[in-house]
Amino acid sequence: MKQSDVMLACIADYGGRVRGKGYPVAEKEKYVRRGVGLAPTNLMITSFGAIVNSPWGPRGDLLMMPDPATEVVVDHGDAWPAERFVLCDLTTLDGAPWACCPRSWLKAGLARLEGEYGLRLYSAFEHEFHYTGVSESGGNAYALDSFRQQGDFLSRLVGALDEAGIEPEMVMPEYGAGQFEVTNSPAIGVASADRAVQLREVTRSVARAKGEKACFSPVMGAGLVGNGVHVHFSLQDRDGTPMSYDATGAHEMSAPMSAFVAGILAHMSEFLPLTASSAISYERLQPNRWSAAYNNLSVQDREAGLRICPLAEGASKAGFNVEYRASDASANPYLLLGALVWAGLEGLAKDLPAPQPTDGDPSAVPQAEAEKRGLKRLPMSLSEALDLMEASPVVREWMGDEFLGAYVMNKRSELSLLDGLDLDEQVAKYVDCF
Ligand code: GLU
Ligand code: MG
């Protein structure tokens, strides 16, 4: 029987899932030109698959416009059919960016960063996940034995990422039983978020082809180590000259980098649902979890909202970067990076000074001083975070009423599907879908 290769045109939705529609690969140029129809309510599918509520109901039409630069082919050889997908922008039928499209929202922020400040964002996502193909016995944190047990999964993954142009950097056994981490090289602008979407799907695909699962749930059980997504970022000018480092600047940050970072910290509590997007994300965002519980800046502390990363003695200052740690893979990568860009722009517009870094436990900073410094415990649940986001005039200005309203509605729908479930039952639902 004849078989035809199929290309899936995909979008990353508000629930952090990648969904799409397929067509014969031989027809792909046609669909790049004319797009693929989509109902706006598709974005409102919750992480768990059900549509609970939608501002658009069954009405309206959009176009998914494939960006050929994002095309990925995962060739599994004889192990599994090859997989092909391409990422899309969402436009209205007349071709304008749709007001509620995550990728277009990130691009608009990046365009403003470049248009108004001559700056480009250079960033990379680090992903942690659990792989079912190893024994879950303890004692294997970062262990060679853990690497050994996964067999050829990671070599296949590195090969697939390489073939897809995602430029893999490191793979490693992580701290948790069955936990691994994969990183890729930084990229400019929207390409970095594209890589995050691609990398998660390629990782899932390579695991599936081995009859296993790569799971990106923010946590795997109460009290267990989380799967973080950490975003390293720096600024460049239009010629690619690094603009983040200044030996004489506060904590060696240039003035624009300081302002960008200050904007992120000032608004972190308000945009948090865009970066820690699931109910169980907040199980991870706690003190002593090596994640982030405060909107603090620190130098080389892995429990900070923003961590100034070290530069090896003699290393090029071009590598100077800051890491955002309050995020996980329940977040749509375009919304996650978009939140950092729009908040950074706010800092640049107000020319905010570099925040004072914390040294040690941020909860130990006396309350009066914390208030003076704007140091805050991050919201402790998705529901609390959504209330803050909805009430935030700045986030409303960045996103617009329709987009913000739809996102908050989607996340509240997700929460309604968890009503009455205890933490372990909630985790089980996210483990199933992520
Ligand atoms: N697993 C930790 C997290 O949830 C991060 C550990 C690390 O610093 O690599 O973010
Ligand atoms: Mg890690």
Q: How far is the CA of 182 from the centre of ligand 1 (A)?
A: 12
The token pair that represents 270 in the structure block: 């308000």
Contacts of 76 (CB under 8 A, 6+ apart): 82, 83, 205, 206, 209
Q: How far is the CA of 343 from the centre of ligand 2 (A)?
A: 25
The token pair that represents 415 in the structure block: 């929460």
Residue among 302, 306, 309, 378 to mutate when testing ligand 1 (max atoms within 8 A of CB): 302
pTM: 0.96
Element (H, E) at 324: strand 322-324
Q: How far is the CA of 107 from the centre of ligand 1 (A)?
A: 28
DSSP class of residue 365 equals S
Average pLDDT on 301-310 reads: 86
CB burial readout 288-298, b (16+ within 10 A) else e: ebebbbbbbbb
DSSP class of residue 138 equals S
Domain 6-98 sits in CATH at 3.10.20.70
Cβ atoms of 64 and 90 closer than 8 Å? yes
Three-state secondary-structure class, residue 160: helix
Question: pLDDT tens digit string along 193-217?
Answer: 999 999 999 999 999 999 999 999 9
How does DSSP assign 341-392, residue by residue? HHHHHHHHHTTPPPPPPB-S-GGGS-HHHHHHHT--BPPSSHHHHHHHHHH-
- Residue 80: pLDDT band with limits 50, 70, 90: confident
Of the ligands numbered here, which is closest to the C-alpha atom of 227? 1
Overall size of the chain counted in residues: 434
Question: pLDDT tens digit string along 318-376?
Answer: 889 999 999 999 999 999 999 999 999 999 999 999 888 888 888 888 888 888 888 99
Question: pLDDT tens digit string along 277-300?
Answer: 999 999 999 887 788 899 999 987
Nearest atom in ligand 1 to the alpha carbon of residue 179 is 1
Of the ligands numbered here, which is closest to the C-alpha atom of 172? 2
Establish whether residue 228 lines the binding site of ligand 1, counting it when its CB lies within 6 angstroms of any ligand atom.
yes
What one-letter code names the amino acid at 286?
A: Q
Q: How far is the CA of 124 from the centre of ligand 2 (A)?
A: 13
Q: What are the distances in angstroms from CA 35 to CA 20, 56, 162?
A: 12, 21, 28
What one-letter code names the amino acid at 367?
A: Q
Fold of the domain built from segment(s) 104-433 = Creatine Kinase; Chain A, domain 2 (3.30.590)
Q: How far is the CA of 313 from the centre of ligand 2 (A)?
A: 23
The token pair that represents 65 in the structure block: 């416009």
Question: pLDDT tens digit string along 128-158?
Answer: 999 999 986 667 888 888 888 999 999 999 9
Establish whether residue 329 lines the binding site of ligand 1, counting it when its CB lies within 6 angstroms of any ligand atom.
no
The domain limits of the chain are 6-98, 104-433
Establish whether residue 126 lines the binding site of ligand 1, counting it when its CB lies within 6 angstroms of any ligand atom.
no
